[in-house]
Structure 1
Amino acid sequence: MSEPLRVAMVGYAFMGAAHSQAWRTVNHVYDLPAPVRMQVLSGRSATAVAAAAGRLGWAEHTDDWRTLLKRDDVDLIDICAPGDVHAEIAIAALAAGKHVLCEKPLANSVAEARSMVAAASAAQASGVRAMCGFNYRRVPAVALMRQMIADGKIGTIRHVRASYLQDWIVDPEFPLVWRLRKEVAGSGALGDIGAHIVDLTQFVTGRHLTEVCALTETFVKSRPLPSSSAGLSAAGDSSAFGAVTVDDAVLFLARLGDGVVGTYEATRFATGRKNGLHVEINGSLGTLVFDFERMNELQFYSLEAPAEQQGFTRILVTEPTHPYMSAWWPPGHLIGYEHTFTHQAHDLVRAIAEGADPTPSFADALQVQLVLDAVARSAETSAWTRVEEES
């Protein structure tokens, strides 16, 4: 077996915990070409990062991510920090010869994303790899959905319907956490969860969004300043308020390649919906439906079945022949959210060992960023807006 792949991670909240779980697990379920070593965790607070390192399984910790660039015992930097620092950290890491995994959305602006793509392209010549973390691509049912569409199981694609519904900020007294501040998060529901359904539908259909017509809304204009926060939980100070500077909800129509039309909705104000990610693809011969709250299942309707047998079929995506499932349990035994990050870590480690380009690449993530930008511009003008194309 090759020398260990020594990983450092920046950030230790919600995504940091999910990525740590993956790095802890991937050695134990996959026969990797190189074992993973969780070398060092970085965060802004020396006290908090020390506690997080012990809890999450990291050997060392630091409160200055720049020290990671000079360490010979760090091969890969995993960026789980807020979006306003993605570009700075990723570009510096790639220039220092470190592989990079960066959480989505890639950046807070198209300009930043383009700079990151340029840095990744320059580093690639030296064998340095970069990947963006769209973990829902690694749900076995989603991977199967993509394969069935590519195999023509639903014929010519006509419609794409996608929604991502959450409710964690419905309470107007919920504090003004970083995800509600444009200067840190870049956007609200659009970038936080809308990016996922844009990437997911492009991934399964093989078609890019080319034009959009959007609206956004911010329902709660100001919120208490936070006194503490952890992941998606927070406490606030009811005596001091700040302005919400991102969207709470976004809805848009879209055109995709080859005449496909789509509808998209992302909101953090769908009361009662906790993580309702839903994708439906209608074709000339059938339909495929994925619902993340039933993530081990795929619904399939086929016009090619005899008339008396037509109806939605439930495919339980747990057989070892399904994507990623051979690493886990006997058929019928379910996997969960955390496994998508383990699959992501596996794919990245294997690509690095094989000298291959991991996906989604920074260029793939830039394409999603261009869609987000077009949606934001469309919402300002209430007009159909073209998605810019990269040359």
Structure 2
Amino acid sequence: MAQPLRVGMVGYAFMGAAHSQAWRTVNHVYDLPSPVQMQVVSGRSAPAVAAAARRFGWSDHTTDWRTLLTRDDVDLIDICSPGDTHADIAIAALSAGKHVLCEKPLANSVDEARRMVAAAEAAKTSGVRAMCGFNYRRVPAVTLMRDLIAAGRLGTIRHVRACYLQDWIVDPEFPLVWRLRKEVAGSGALGDIGAHIVDLTQFVTGRLVTEVSALAETFVRSRPLPSASAGLSALSAGGVVERGEVTVDDAVLFLARLGDQVVATYEATRFATGRKNGLRVEINGSLGTLVFDVERMNELQFYDLDRPVEEQGFTRILVTEPSHPYMAAWWPPGHTIGYEHTFTHQAHDLVRAIAAGVDPTPSFADALQVQLVLDAVSRSAETSSWVTVESAIVDPVEERV
């Protein structure tokens, strides 16, 4: 019997719950080369991490993530903690010979991300692998979108439009949680949700963002200090409470180029009243258009200019056939899947890559490329100017030419 892949996880809130669901499920859905064991979860609060271990199915728990580095029964460290912890944990884990899965964005700065990439490259010589968790790549409809574009079904790509709209902090009295503090989160809507649409559009088009012109705004400059918080919810104390400064952006919009002659618009905000998780991407090409909307997760809209004029129009593709990406593992055609399944697909892909001794995707280098875009957007918003995005990896389109 194959040796198990024993996982230790850092963090147990929103992303910790999502990742736990994936690790708990993946063995039951896929025939893996190495079965997954949920070994230990780490968190700062002893009572809370003990409760999370019981609820999510972890065998053990600890309040010090450093103990994961020395445990012989941990092979992979899954980082679901806030951004200011990513670099320290990932670099230490890789140096200790542990595989790493790190949530997005990879880090809070380009410098941290570069050090993480260097650690991942050094660890590869010992067979240790690292991946960044951009789960929306694992939506079957998104992967199908990528495949159709790669097959030339849209012809020459001309326009990219991407937005990610949420409203969970629209109330000015919502507390000052860690996602609103630059020293912990790195940035606001830009890194939290903007990172997703940058990675997703680069993934589906096979092109890198090369130049940006941005603006950013913080609508609410101070908020009550929280008495408790978890995931995307929080409580503030009653009565007169102390307030703290919001040090991140609430909304970011930017124009961009992806290589030559591909123009793009991006918008990320947590102040789009009524929008709960409105991620939408549209790609226009010389032969057609593809549209993905996360609120219709199992669908793609496809306009095919090659069809006869009298048949042209947007076609709804229900992405539930066994021949569609990832879907053969699940239910009969027409039976849809949801958000949590993307993390199961992510776990599956990582386990298989480790077993095969190949680099999983997105790699830390891929995630650094997203970080470079975020950094360029931030600098552009500060200077009101176009900023060129440094390339950390070869543009896949240019490489094919």
Q: Structures share a fold, TM > 0.5?
A: yes
Cross-structure match for 1:362: 364
Q: What is the rounded CA distance, in whole Å, between the counterparts of 2:220 and 2:315 in structure 1?
A: 41
Per-residue Cα deviation, 1:54-109 (whole angstroms, up to 9, x for no partner): 01110000000001100000000000000000000000000000000000000000
1:293-304 correspondence runs (5 A): 293-304=295-306
Cross-structure match for 2:397: none
Q: What is the rounded CA distance, in whole Å, between the counterparts of 1:239 and 1:33 in structure 2?
A: 54
Alignment partner for residue 377 of structure 1, among 366, 376, 379? 379
Q: What is the rounded CA distance, in whole Å, between the counterparts of 2:350 and 2:287 in structure 1?
A: 35
Q: Does 1:207 align with 2:207?
A: yes
Cross-structure match for 1:327: 329
Cross-structure match for 1:218: 218
Q: Gaps (5+ residues) in structure 2?
A: 394-401
Secondary structure at 1:314 match in 2: strand
Alignment partner for residue 315 of structure 1, among 314, 317, 323? 317
Q: What is the rounded CA distance, in whole Å, between the counterparts of 2:8 and 2:229 in structure 1?
A: 23
Q: 1:2 deviation in Å?
A: 1.2
Secondary structure at 1:258 match in 2: coil
After superposition, the CA RMSD in angstroms is 0.6
| Matching residue's letter, 1:232 | L
Q: Does 1:151 align with 2:151?
A: yes
Q: What is the rounded CA distance, in whole Å, between the counterparts of 1:325 and 1:374 in structure 2?
A: 37
> 8 Å contact 2:365–2:392 — kept in the other structure?
no
Alignment partner for residue 287 of structure 2, among 274, 285, 303? 285
Q: What is the rounded CA distance, in whole Å, between the counterparts of 1:239 and 1:43 in structure 2?
A: 27
Q: 1:239 deviation in Å?
A: 1.4
Q: 1:118 deviation in Å?
A: 0.2
Q: 1:257 deviation in Å?
A: 1.1
Q: What is the rounded CA distance, in whole Å, between the counterparts of 1:364 and 1:324 in structure 2?
A: 22
Cross-structure match for 1:256: 258
1:168-179 correspondence runs (5 A): 168-179=168-179
Q: What is the rounded CA distance, in whole Å, between the counterparts of 2:52 and 2:228 in structure 1?
A: 16
Secondary structure at 1:305 match in 2: coil
After TM superposition, where is structure 1 displaced by more than 2 Å over at least 4 residues in a row? none
Q: Which moved more, 1:43-52 or 1:360-369?
A: 43-52
Q: What is the rounded CA distance, in whole Å, between the counterparts of 2:261 and 2:379 in structure 1?
A: 22
Q: 1:389 deviation in Å?
A: 2.1
> 8 Å contact 2:162–2:266 — kept in the other structure?
yes
Per-residue Cα deviation, 1:169-224 (whole angstroms, up to 9, x for no partner): 00001000000000000000000000000000000000000000000000000000
Q: What is the rounded CA distance, in whole Å, between the counterparts of 2:47 and 2:223 in structure 1?
A: 28
Q: 1:388 deviation in Å?
A: 1.3
| Matching residue's letter, 1:389 | S
Q: What is the rounded CA distance, in whole Å, between the counterparts of 1:143 and 1:270 in structure 2?
A: 27
| Matching residue's letter, 2:290 | L
Q: What is the rounded CA distance, in whole Å, between the counterparts of 2:257 and 2:367 in structure 1?
A: 19
Q: What is the rounded CA distance, in whole Å, between the counterparts of 1:27 and 1:180 in structure 2?
A: 36
> 8 Å contact 2:211–2:256 — kept in the other structure?
yes
Q: What is the rounded CA distance, in whole Å, between the counterparts of 1:58 and 1:333 in structure 2?
A: 30
Secondary structure at 2:242 match in 1: strand
Per-residue Cα deviation, 1:118-149 (whole angstroms, up to 9, x for no partner): 00000000000000000000000000000000
Q: What is the rounded CA distance, in whole Å, between the counterparts of 1:316 and 1:194 in structure 2?
A: 26
Q: What is the rounded CA distance, in whole Å, between the counterparts of 1:186 and 1:282 in structure 2?
A: 32
Cross-structure match for 1:350: 352
> 8 Å contact 2:215–2:384 — kept in the other structure?
yes
Q: Does 1:245 align with 2:272?
A: no
Q: Gaps (5+ residues) in structure 1?
A: none
| Matching residue's letter, 2:96 | A
Q: Percent identity?
A: 84
Q: 1:230 deviation in Å?
A: 1.2
Secondary structure at 2:40 match in 1: strand
Q: 1:47 deviation in Å?
A: 1.1
Query: Number of residues paired by the alignment?
Result: 391
Q: What is the rounded CA distance, in whole Å, between the counterparts of 2:51 and 2:99 in structure 1?
A: 26
| Matching residue's letter, 1:155 | G
1:56-75 correspondence runs (5 A): 56-75=56-75
Q: 1:373 deviation in Å?
A: 0.1
| Matching residue's letter, 1:304 | D
| Matching residue's letter, 1:355 | G
Alignment partner for residue 274 of structure 2, among 257, 272, 275? 272
Cross-structure match for 1:10: 10
Q: Does 1:180 align with 2:175?
A: no
| Matching residue's letter, 2:343 | F
Q: 1:258 deviation in Å?
A: 3.0
Cross-structure match for 1:233: 233
| Matching residue's letter, 1:324 | Y
TM-score by length of 1: 0.99
Secondary structure at 2:145 match in 1: helix
Cross-structure match for 2:117: 117
Q: What is the rounded CA distance, in whole Å, between the counterparts of 2:39 and 2:241 in structure 1?
A: 42
Alignment partner for residue 389 of structure 2, among 377, 382, 387? 387
Q: 1:259 deviation in Å?
A: 1.4
Per-residue Cα deviation, 1:301-353 (whole angstroms, up to 9, x for no partner): 01100000000000000000000000000000000000000000000000000
Q: What is the rounded CA distance, in whole Å, between the counterparts of 1:173 and 1:330 in structure 2?
A: 46
Q: 1:390 deviation in Å?
A: 2.7
Q: 1:254 deviation in Å?
A: 0.1
Cross-structure match for 1:55: 55
Q: What is the rounded CA distance, in whole Å, between the counterparts of 1:337 and 1:390 in structure 2?
A: 30
Q: What is the rounded CA distance, in whole Å, between the counterparts of 2:392 and 2:89 in structure 1?
A: 23
Q: What is the rounded CA distance, in whole Å, between the counterparts of 1:12 and 1:193 in structure 2?
A: 20
Q: 1:14 deviation in Å?
A: 0.1
